[in-house]
Amino acid sequence: MSVPWRRALVIGNWKMNLSVSMAAHTARSIAALVRDAPDREVAIAPPFTALTTVGAAIAGGPLVLAAQDLFWEEEGPYTGEISGPMLAEVGVRYVLVGHSERRVFLGETDRNVSHKVAAALRAGLHPVVCVGEDLEARTAGRQGQVVRDQVARSLDGVPRHEAARLAMAYEPIWAIGTGRAATPADAAEMHSLIRNELGAIFGESERSIRILYGGSVGEKNADDLMSRGEIDGLLVGGASLRPAEFGRIAGFRGL
């Protein structure tokens, strides 16, 4: 089971889905199914267009608002970008940084990610830093080195006293949206590797950092994943768009 002093975290990443009205409806449906529990925290990350509406729909309930990305500057001539202060103003608590889809489709680098982590911290947000290897690296047995490098580079410059505001998400690229999830044992092994790298960076302060698993998470594997002490939470994609299923995932029995 998850380590007691790290409260479990489950985040639903809606990606580029749902109109504003459908997002609000989905958020209310999920909120009705998720209980407010002291041992876990549940967040949803709608598209930028729905953040304000979803935030209002879940206010006062058990759900927390998250965002899918941010830019590394506070303001300026950056067409199409969203800043940390803008997210904070509408009630966002968590923000995904370096999701594999942004790395793969938009060419986001570890250096970009490190700038975004710093921007999130400056804005008072809690960055969820995503790392994970592709199928080629996994097949070649290089997953450990790839992920260690991503962790070190993505967190470059983060001061030790900020560690408690960080979360990590291990999301093997080969498992995202494919229906092929890592086994709980494989995920736990990579989480332990990430934990060791965090220890090398932050010392004992790493104990407060939660490490989530993401990649084809569903109601069939959520309990098994969360039964592993190395796994502190889940980053859920497609299943988070289905309120009944996401409600069951968020109510995992692994603790």
Q: Which residues of the chain have pLDDT under 50?
A: 255
pLDDT for res 181 = 76
pLDDT for res 175 = 82
What's the pTM? 0.96
pLDDT for res 130 = 98
Considering the candidates 99, 115, 126, 191, report the single residue annotated as catalytic.
Answer: 99
User: Among this protein's residues, is 99 annotated catalytic?
Assistant: yes
Cα 126 off chain centre by: 10
What lies within 8 Å, CB to CB, of 116 at 6+ separation is 69, 70, 71, 72, 97, 98, 127
How far apart are the C-alpha atoms of 249 and 92, rounded to whole Å?
22
- Residue ranges and CATH numbers for the domains of the chain are 8-250 (3.20.20.70)
Tokens of 48: 């930028």
pLDDT for res 4 = 56
User: Among this protein's residues, is 115 annotated catalytic?
Assistant: no
How far apart are the C-alpha atoms of 101 and 103, rounded to whole Å?
5
- DSSP state at residue 239: G
Considering the candidates 101, 171, 206, 219, report the single residue annotated as catalytic.
Answer: 171
